[in-house]
Amino acid sequence: MDLVKGKNIIITGASRGIGRGIALAFAKEGANVAFTYSSSEGPAKELEAELSAFGVTAKAFKSNAADFDAAQQLVSDVLEIFDSIDVLINNAGITKDNLLMRISEEDFDNVIEVNLKSVFNMTKAVQRTMLKQRHGSLIHMSSVVGVKGNAGQSNYAASKAGIIGFSKSIALELGSRNIRSNVIAPGFIETEMTDKLPEDVVAQWRAGIPLKRGGSPDDVANACLFLAADLSAYITGQVLHVDGGMLT
């Protein structure tokens, strides 16, 4: 089944981790992929070559999704390569964890800018194109933390909860034009970042998950493929939990 073959995709923050896994999954399925990175040019260029090897058009863009003008420019640049933008995956995100009594205003603002305002910036930037096309799938990466909160992550939780409210509102605004807006809320996903955690900490995480394992970038990517494909044509305004049952 050609889930997304020939579709044109933008993914923010895709040079590593979950974003990289999503980009690879879409290229394997025959989608053309434009993706952004903030500073890791080497890995970004390697990924661009890896994606292109699947016979699709792939392009890495150094761009800051938290900057409104940069997001507008990115979409303009992508439209010089692609004749449409079928799917936007808002994946860019950072953490600056600390307890409320220790967190700085700068770290709070920075996380909100990168995680939440970037979603507004990029969605606003692709809106006109999707309205003209009268179709589009918007996929926003939240987190289980955005649903249930987490001590020491008030900034991150606020940004990820904000994404859910934003997405549901956009689903209501744009549904009549066949533009869908959905959220994916990953749980404990094992990437190079979690590889740095002590093994006993990881084991404790796994033990608390009903499926008794951490997720992989592929687990998140498969959910993205579903929400990007026509299989989910009647699904909008939803939050899909990819967490192994953590919030069950």
pLDDT in the model for residue 1: 63
Mean pLDDT of successive 10-residue segments in the chain (248 residues)?
91 93 97 93 94 97 96 98 97 94 97 97 98 98 95 96 98 98 95 77 88 94 97 98 93
| Cα 92 from chain centre | 6
| Annotation says 37 is catalytic | no
pLDDT in the model for residue 202: 84
Q: Where do the domains of the chain lie?
A: 8-190+217-241
Question: Angle of helix 118-133 relative to helix 68-79, nearest 10 degrees?
Answer: 30
Give me the residue label for tokens 């394997």. Answer: 28
Q: Could you tell me the CA-to-CA distances from 13 to 41, 97, 144, 173 in Å, in that order? A: 12, 19, 19, 26
Residues 97, 98, 102: CA angle, nearest 5 degrees: 150
pLDDT in the model for residue 21: 96
pLDDT in the model for residue 164: 98
Catalytic residue among 35, 156, 183, 225: 156
pLDDT in tens, 74-95: 999 999 999 999 999 999 999 9
User: What contacts 121, CB < 8 A, 6 or more positions away?
Assistant: 65, 66, 67, 68, 70, 71, 72
- Name the CATH superfamily for 8-190+217-241: NAD(P)-binding Rossmann-like Domain (3.40.50.720)
